[in-house]
Amino acid sequence: MRHLIVLTILFLSCNLPLDDCIEVYLIRHAEKDRSDPLNKNPHLSEKGIKRSLLWNGYFENKEVNSIYSTNYNRTIETVLPVSIAKGIKPTIYSASNISYESFLKKEKGNKVLVVGHSNTIPGFVNKLIEDNYYNQINDTVNSNLYIVKKCSEEINHYVVQIDSLQN
């Protein structure tokens, strides 16, 4: 009986560090309306709206505890369906002024969705993984999903394409 108690304590203590884990999903905004090249804050195009719904479908059965978005129409509109479905108000962040250390500390134990831009999401991922691994996203690519899982010093990361949209 004493061995069973010791094994149970060891098993439970092995699971305790999971509370310090964070899982971050990072995406670039969906396709933007390019009809006015001078517009610095365009809304999503029709295809972009469809992609935002595709993202919502992807995250439908996934736990998400918080959402971060830059303060642009296209990023907010990309995450809006997920935000509504999950009942989570997005936290607005500045890609050029975020403290990654504070972000990791605040979101410890959570699953977080971050929406940004072709020139900011790879850098965000690189900061999380502490390596200059990912390059800037091509301006025509809106289907990358970067996933970072970080527990103490163990870091896992990968990118997948989520793209079932037809032209």
Q: What band does 163 get if pLDDT is binned at 50, 70 and 90?
A: confident
Predicted local confidence at residue 152, as pLDDT = 84
Q: What band does 132 get if pLDDT is binned at 50, 70 and 90?
A: very high
Alpha helices in 35-136 (DSSP H): 46-59, 73-86, 100-106, 121-129
Q: What band does 20 get if pLDDT is binned at 50, 70 and 90?
A: confident
Predicted local confidence at residue 153, as pLDDT = 82
Give the mean model confidence (pLDDT) for residues 55-60. 97
Q: Residue 126: which of 103, 148, 141, 94 has the closest Cα?
A: 148
Domains of the chain: 19-161 (3.40.50.1240)
**pTM confidence score:** 0.88
**What is d(CA 14, CA 6) in angstroms, rounded to the nearest whole number?**
12
Give the mean model confidence (pLDDT) for residues 3-15. 44
Strand 21-28 with 66-69, pairing = unpaired
By percentage, how much of the chain surpasses pLDDT 70?
Answer: 87
Predicted local confidence at residue 124, as pLDDT = 98
Of 152 and 50, more confident: 50
Q: What band does 18 get if pLDDT is binned at 50, 70 and 90?
A: low
